[in-house]
Structure 1
Amino acid sequence: MTPARTEPDVPAGPDLADRVHGGWLGRIAGNMLGKPVEQGEVWTRDRIDRYLRRAAALPLTDYLPEPATDDDARALRPEWRACVRGRVHGSCRDDDIDYSILGLDLLETHGFGFGTEQVGDLWLRRLPYLQTFTAERAAYRNLAAGLRPPVTATYGNPYQEWIGALIRADVHGWTSPGDPRRAAALARRDAVLSHTGNGVHGAMWAAALIAAAFTAPTVRDAIDTALAVVPAGCRLARTVRRTASLHEAGLSWEETLATLAEETAGLGWIHVVPNAAVLTAGLLHGDGDFTRTLALTVRGGLDTDSNGATAGSVAGVMTGARAIPPQWRDPLEDTVRSAVFGFDGVRISELASRTLRLATARGADAGTGAGPGAAAAGPVTLRA
């Protein structure tokens, strides 16, 4: 006899709604915080802190301040004027948020039994080619040329282990509250369109981390729970465990990041492994405080807007929307700009409500994603 599936212990009613809403708000706020300095080879951790000191903005408790010098202004991304404190009126358009919206549309359109080919079909119909980058652009080009998953992830794609699949994972965590394995399975099916190896492991870990954040008593518990869904020997898992061990040994945030920068040197600022280290350090040293978590994660450098977005998502789920400080929430004006067709100007509260409906759905394909089309990608070997 097959035992009945045990439903995860998840928050009920208004609390779950508040946590899902908090995940969306946190992701968007963290993305906005990191966006002006998203160029890791230019905006190193030291340079970000020098910028903040010149603007008398340390400790960082709000969106980035306006640049104090012309040199700083020229080095920022051109969108900075809509992302710094006092100038934020709704979110800027960014791929980190576009993919969360696209993931929501995927689940609403195809359900939890979606197949990898359906992810690709949705990209072609909803997402402009020029708003894709690195591995996603390579996969998009391969789709347009008629290739199918998993070849779309490998042909002409040197970015297979970069951070792109991880930034697409949040919606799978939000819709699997308290069920990290389910979240990881959904994220894997999405990720293999464009990534392999640690690129896929990063997406699975991030989705599981967000799902675990709904019920974990501490951030460390959520991180440890999420590690159980990826191969223990893969480099991503080893790096996350190493980050946690340095924190447990009492190293400061600065010492931790300096050590990890040496140990991941040469991978590049968009590779998923060093970014997972920055994200993990920000979460652990942020210790459940929403503002401190966002600030430390973005000050850590590398892919600042992506890391800020994921850190904000985890912190927002753990605190809930009502507990997010107003300096992060209010300037967003409940509005999202997006390149995803049909979603520009959508309300954050609407996205959260639609996500909540999916999170509370239960059915034959809700637990494992094994519904129609789930096997469309075929087998994929993950490299450690």
Structure 2
Amino acid sequence: MSSVDIQYDKVYGAWLGRSAGCLLGQPVEGWYQDRLLGFLKESGNLPVNGYMSSDVSGEIRKKYDIVDEKEVYGGCMVNWVNNIECMPEDDDTNYTILALKLMEQKGYNFTPDDVGECWLNCLPVLHVCTAERVAYINMVNNLSPPASAGYRNAYREYIGAQIRGDFYGYVCPGDAAKAARLAWKDACISHTKNGIYGEMFAAAMLAEAAKETDMRKIIRTALLQIPPKSRLAEAIEEILSWNMQSVDAEEAARRIRQRFDERLGYDWCHVIPNAMIVCTGLLYGDLDFSRTMHICLTAAFDTDCNCATAGSVLGMILGADNIPAEWTAPLRDQIRSGVDGMGLVSLSSLASRTIKVYRKHQKK
């Protein structure tokens, strides 16, 4: 049993922060850094102080190939802030909602098979990507977890599992080890090794953020939940070391980019460079939501994933009331998902349901 009680404002803040970060990065996911920085600068949003809009001059639209109409998760519009009425669907938030649904049904003792069954029952295959889609197809072909993760799966150390870990931290406040165990059961159906460790690390950070405000302590505690000799742990240790050496955020991001190439699909979506970017944003963001988003976004790579994870951690620390309104107001407390039965729901209701999952367990 956790020694830290769950707090609605923190959980709601985490849901809001995850959604806000995802929305920020979604329209420019896949952009290379030079294009991204050019657009931010010429549209007056550098340093980043809010969402990006397509309501810019024709010259800027042409120069940066800005479009409004494009199919995204079944929608027909690119999710610039001027095109939305709520938080639109994204895989980064689908999985958080799916984890809620799983734990409402199965509780803390769910198995990897339960995770796979929940996916097949509640989420269409074209709403999942890379490692998840391979695992989904493997499970359809009767290959059960954890075998479903490795068979013909070139994406098994991609970022996909890391973006699925947040909810397990939400329901384990102050218990990073327990959050990591839940995350392992989720991750092993589609990922191996560092792919799994990424989800365990993210879940553990969220659990620790429920009681701690010191970002170094949060990251250190999360690191204790993954193998210390793993490539992921060694990479995060390097970020912590740079921070202690007073290397600034811009230089830290430059070093990450020097080692990994965003123009290579493998590097762009691999868990290690993206986890390094998340930790850079959290360490150098000084608990400032806009600054943290700026660091995570401008490093490029997987922009919506990284801003979502960092936003979730920071939202848990700050609580909903302390996230600036420019980030929360455009969401209108509503989120769309591709999860069966949860097409359009309020973020506040998701926070309340998260509390109920935790309370139900505490009574046993």
Asked whether the two chains share a fold, i.e. TM above 0.5, the reply is: yes
Q: Secondary structure at the match of 2:350?
A: helix
* Contact kept in structure 1, 2:184 and 2:196, CA below 8 Å: yes
Partners in 2 of 1:358 and 1:335 — Cα distance? 20
> Do residues 216 (structure 1) and 207 (structure 2) align?
no
* Contact kept in structure 2, 1:11 and 1:215, CA below 8 Å: no
* Contact kept in structure 1, 2:61 and 2:67, CA below 8 Å: no
Name the aligned partner's letter for residue 158 of structure 2: W
Partners in 1 of 2:3 and 2:68 — Cα distance? 44
* Contact kept in structure 2, 1:218 and 1:288, CA below 8 Å: no
* Contact kept in structure 1, 2:35 and 2:64, CA below 8 Å: no
Assess, with a 3 A threshold, how the Cα gap between structure 1 residues 165 and 76 changes in structure 2: closer, same or farther.
Answer: farther
Which residue number in structure 2 is paired with residue 282 of structure 1?
281
Which residue number in structure 2 is paired with residue 25 of structure 1?
16
Which residue number in structure 1 is paired with residue 148 of structure 2?
152
Which residue number in structure 1 is paired with residue 62 of structure 2?
70
Task: Kindly report which structure 2 residues correspond to 1:131-142, keeping only aligned pairs within 5 A, or say none.
Answer: 131-142=127-138
* Contact kept in structure 2, 1:36 and 1:76, CA below 8 Å: no
Gaps of 5+ in 1: 1-6, 367-384
Further displaced range: 69-78 or 58-67: 69-78
Which residue number in structure 1 is paired with residue 2 of structure 2?
8
Partners in 2 of 1:72 and 1:9 — Cα distance? 50
Assess, with a 3 A threshold, how the Cα gap between structure 1 residues 75 and 333 changes in structure 2: closer, same or farther.
Answer: closer
Assess, with a 3 A threshold, how the Cα gap between structure 1 residues 279 and 157 changes in structure 2: closer, same or farther.
Answer: same
Name the aligned partner's letter for residue 187 of structure 2: A
Moved over 6 A (4+): none
Higher helix share: 2
Which residue number in structure 2 is paired with residue 333 of structure 1?
332
Partners in 2 of 1:326 and 1:232 — Cα distance? 39
Q: Secondary structure at the match of 1:346?
A: strand
Assess, with a 3 A threshold, how the Cα gap between structure 1 residues 81 and 62 changes in structure 2: closer, same or farther.
Answer: farther
Q: Of 250, 253, 267, which aligns to 2:246? A: 250
Among all aligned residue pairs of Structure 1 and Structure 2, give the percentage whose two residues are the same amino acid: 40
Assess, with a 3 A threshold, how the Cα gap between structure 1 residues 37 and 77 changes in structure 2: closer, same or farther.
Answer: farther
Which residue number in structure 2 is paired with residue 381 of structure 1?
none
* Contact kept in structure 2, 1:82 and 1:89, CA below 8 Å: no
Partners in 1 of 2:171 and 2:275 — Cα distance? 22
Further displaced range: 44-53 or 275-284: 44-53
Partners in 1 of 2:247 and 2:68 — Cα distance? 31
Name the aligned partner's letter for residue 48 of structure 1: L
* Contact kept in structure 1, 2:27 and 2:78, CA below 8 Å: no
Partners in 1 of 2:68 and 2:240 — Cα distance? 31
Deviations 1:297-317 (A, max 9, x none): 111111110111101100100
CA-based RMSD of the aligned residues comes to 1.8
Further displaced range: 126-135 or 355-364: 355-364
Q: Of 229, 232, 235, which aligns to 2:231? A: 235
- Cα distance, 1:363 vs structure 2: 5.0
For normalisation by structure 2, the TM-score amounts to 0.93
Gaps of 5+ in 2: none
Name the aligned partner's letter for residue 305 of structure 1: D
Name the aligned partner's letter for residue 34 of structure 2: D
Partners in 2 of 1:98 and 1:136 — Cα distance? 12
Partners in 2 of 1:279 and 1:235 — Cα distance? 16
Further displaced range: 16-25 or 245-254: 245-254
Residues paired across the two proteins, number: 353
Partners in 2 of 1:353 and 1:291 — Cα distance? 26
Partners in 2 of 1:344 and 1:72 — Cα distance? 32
Deviations 1:324-363 (A, max 9, x none): 1111111111111111111011111110100011233435
* Contact kept in structure 1, 2:204 and 2:225, CA below 8 Å: yes
* Contact kept in structure 2, 1:62 and 1:85, CA below 8 Å: no
Which residue number in structure 1 is paired with residue 79 of structure 2?
83
* Contact kept in structure 2, 1:126 and 1:341, CA below 8 Å: yes
